[in-house]
Amino acid sequence: MDSEPSTSPDYAAQFAFPTAAEALARQGVVEVPAGWEVTLEAGDGDDDAAGPEGAFITERHIIPARAHLLGDDGWAYRLHSPGPYRARFTTRVALDAGEYDLSLAYFADWRYDFGDASLPPDQPDHAQVRFVVGRREVAWTTPEPLHHNRLDHVIRLDEPATLRLGFEVWSRYPATSNGFFLQAFTVRARSGLEAAGQHRVVVNLLPQDATLREKWHILFHTHAQRQALLQSHDDALTLVQSGRADSTIRLWGRERLDAGQQAAIAAAGVAVQDEPLTGIALQPPPPSGPEALSGVVINLLPQDATLMQKWHVLQTVHDGKQSLMQSHDDAYTLLELAGAGALLRLWGGASLLPEQTQRLQSLGVVMAPESYPPPRPVVAPPTGEFRFTHWPCTTTLIWQHFGENPDRYKEFKLPGHEGIDIEAPFGSPLFAVADGIVAENPSHASAYGVHVRINHPGDYQTIYAHMERPAVVPGQTVRGGDVIGYADSTGHVWPKPTPERPHDGSHLHLTLKAFNRATEYPYNIINPTPFLRALPQYPAGAAIIAPPPAPSAAPTYDLFDYLCGDGRLYEVGGSGGQERFQTQRDGHRFYIVKNANWEELWADADYIWRGFDTSPDNDRYYIQKEDGREGARWANRRMRVGETFRGFGHHVQFYFKRDCRRSDLNSGRATNQTTLVAHHDAMTWNNVTIHDVIELKGIGEERYFFARGFGMVGWRSPWGESGVAEVHALHARPDNVRLRIPCMSRD
């Protein structure tokens, strides 16, 4: 007899596939989820309008498989068939009158999508899925949407009804090693946020000072469950409160949260599961409010993202403390609440539903496609008896591989990088990779800076470069894993240390030499990668984060020289009318003054900052604030053509000029993004030629032009263009007078 799960207009029912034997029922020779009716068919298929048909499957029907693909617990079911097949899953559901969203979560492992030569050529309808609603079968879904890992459909009932709901899966090809992994079928009454209340939310909340090594530890232990990694306490609370009542925060390293953060979590009344955080012990963060981040930046990965692909993304976004998610609903919930200025980075083809995308774009959410780098070629393991026994430093983040960047190493008469560069924070210990005896260093000065050489059995030698100081002396016997020195950036490194940042570029450079055979590189140098790959710490198969920027022949432009003019007056005219421009300085701040309205900027050693702006319209002004401080970073101070600065998130608050009352319109979170598009030797507007001009681009298509000695000299967008129309002689006109708003406050 069928069981009858039910739902109501204010409750989202999820009919998940079971994780225990007691939740299974035997149907013939097949074990299926209790309460579900399962029909399995096989045959040659028929492409008529009614959909494919076939005969009943008689072997290896449906196999429960711990696939670790979707869901809180990682269980799924995998279809098996020696030929074309169709599987139909339905369950009886009692619904009140109203509109309902049907959702199917799954992962399609179509083996023939990956070049299996034994299968026939792919065809547009090689696999299809459709919902079943009572006696009505919804149209088949074509392959392209299948890659989204979720299907959705809306039904409307004019009166209460009990009917069968479910779905069908059909494939033209056999499913003997591939499969269609089924996770959950959800029925949800339509209301509110896309993700509100429909599923259990489990997020991993990390302290603000979590290291990359600690994040890797958490990622490794949570990968199978596809749980989010967050460092924003506000975002974590928002997500968990929007989910089902059994939603949970997994709180890593509670002792490293300040009192305000712990109080905010306790006051929210959500379920919290404490987790021990292993890794490098750090000092507690300084006291702060319950939220230390501003802006919302989400990295959304597809459901089939591998652990190594996640590792690549984690390394890429570590410094920005950005969130990693695989739940489309969770991402949509946060982004809709954040609105304008939020950023969604879509990795590896991840995407939201079309209606979700349209809604977020209308709110001003920026969506940026991102791609993983191609996999690195496999390096053959070393031969012979010599082996590395220990990893040489405290991190596994590789900056530069062996043989890379040949142009950079021509001056050293090398065909490419002669070792491996691994991140090593200043003062962190460095370890011998194997047993050996410390050798004497050459007497001449070396690009390696302070370094240690160790001779190993079999005529091998390792070199550990760019140290702060050694911890061993020549002739000393060391064992693998012994501390031999401490990391720094002595010698030739990039970025180069400065008096303000004396340890910039701190890392370990490891070189391996073999004196027992001929080598392709000079100085008996061989590739240490195979020896490192044999160690458990090596991120095998990982796409490694790019190294620090290399020295480049391309010029670097100091944007301050272009944005902050010398005070000359000039007219800028175009589709928006004509205004008199002047750049004015006031202490360390400078102002782009347009008639009377103005934009406030300033520069430090690294960034250009923006503060107040009185020019958005006649009635209002706004201020940008980042992490509660006045001003937000707008661009790197020094940039090369093609370089993009992406901000760290900030808050924009509008006010009325007449009385300084807050205005909610256009206020909220935002993210600056500025690209140095080009440098122009000269540009001409309105028959006026200006020399030495840089072209900047923000989010969208608007371009800004700044000239050395002037400041802003033009702009261009899909809505119009403006540029210099006249340059006034020195002192020929009175200076612009900046608009004064008496009630304006920097609080």
Last residue of a domain, one of 160, 189, 218: 189
Average per-residue pLDDT in the chain?
75
Helix axes 233-242, 328-338, angle to 10 degrees: 120
CATH (domain of 38): 2.60.120.260
Last residue of a domain, one of 131, 160, 189: 189
User: Looking at 225-229, 284-288, 518-522, 599-603, which range is the least confident one?
Assistant: 284-288
What pLDDT, on a 0 to 100 scale, did the predictor assign at position 707? 95
* Residue 23 binned pLDDT confidence (cut-offs 50, 70, 90): low
pLDDT for 568 beyond 90: yes
Proportion of the chain above pLDDT 70, given as a percent: 72
CA distance 556 to 641: 8
User: Looking at 252-266, 300-314, 338-352, 457-471, which range is the least confident one?
Assistant: 300-314
Mean pLDDT of 353-376: 79
> CA 188, 191, 195 angle in degrees (round to 5)?
65
| 178 lies in the same domain as 41 | yes
Mean pLDDT of 413-426: 86
| 439 lies in the same domain as 337 | no
| 234 lies in the same domain as 281 | yes
How many domains is the chain built from? Answer: 4
What pLDDT, on a 0 to 100 scale, did the predictor assign at position 439? 92
The DSSP result for 287-351, as a single string, is P--S----S-EEEE--TT--HHHHHHHHHHHGGGT-EEE--HHHHHHHHHHH-TT-EEEEETT--
What pLDDT, on a 0 to 100 scale, did the predictor assign at position 614? 94
Which has more pLDDT, 186 or 292?
186
CA distance 264 to 260: 6
Reference 675, options 718, 714, 639, 633; nearest CA is 639
Is residue 236 within 8 Å of residue 249, measured between CB atoms? yes
| 566 lies in the same domain as 624 | yes
The answer to the question of residue 212 being in a domain is: yes
| 184 lies in the same domain as 206 | no
| 164 lies in the same domain as 228 | no
The answer to the question of residue 264 being in a domain is: yes
CA-derived radius of gyration, the chain: 31
| 602 lies in the same domain as 669 | yes
Domain that holds residue 32: 13-189
Mean pLDDT of 430-436: 91
Counting Cα atoms < 13 Å in the Cβ hemisphere of 547 gives: 22
The answer to the question of residue 3 being in a domain is: no
pLDDT for 324 beyond 60: yes
- Say which residue the tokens 């053509």 belong to: 641
The answer to the question of residue 382 being in a domain is: no
Is residue 515 within 8 Å of residue 459, measured between CB atoms? yes
Which has more pLDDT, 601 or 75?
601
Last residue of a domain, one of 320, 348, 376: 348
What pLDDT, on a 0 to 100 scale, did the predictor assign at position 221? 67
The answer to the question of residue 360 being in a domain is: no
Dihedrals φ, ψ of 479, to 5°?
-105, 155
Burial of 144: CB neighbours in 10 Å, binned 0-12, 13-18, 19+: exposed
CATH (domain of 414): 2.70.70.10
pLDDT for 131 beyond 90: no
* Residue 24 binned pLDDT confidence (cut-offs 50, 70, 90): low
CA distance 568 to 732: 10
User: Looking at 38-47, 238-247, 529-538, 645-654, which range is the least confident one?
Assistant: 38-47
| 418 lies in the same domain as 495 | yes
Proportion of the chain above pLDDT 90, given as a percent: 19
* Residue 383 binned pLDDT confidence (cut-offs 50, 70, 90): low
| 103-125 tens-digit pLDDT | 777 665 544 443 444 444 444 45
Q: DSSP code of 237?
A: H
8 contact partners, CB below 8 Å, separation of at least 6: 96, 189
The answer to the question of residue 362 being in a domain is: no
| 211 lies in the same domain as 159 | no
User: Looking at 79-93, 579-593, 676-690, 699-713, which range is the least confident one?
Assistant: 79-93
What pLDDT, on a 0 to 100 scale, did the predictor assign at position 238? 85
The answer to the question of residue 359 being in a domain is: no
User: Looking at 34-43, 270-279, 465-474, which range is the least confident one?
Assistant: 34-43
What pLDDT, on a 0 to 100 scale, did the predictor assign at position 562? 95
| 21 lies in the same domain as 151 | yes
| 490 lies in the same domain as 573 | no
| 175 lies in the same domain as 210 | no
The answer to the question of residue 434 being in a domain is: yes
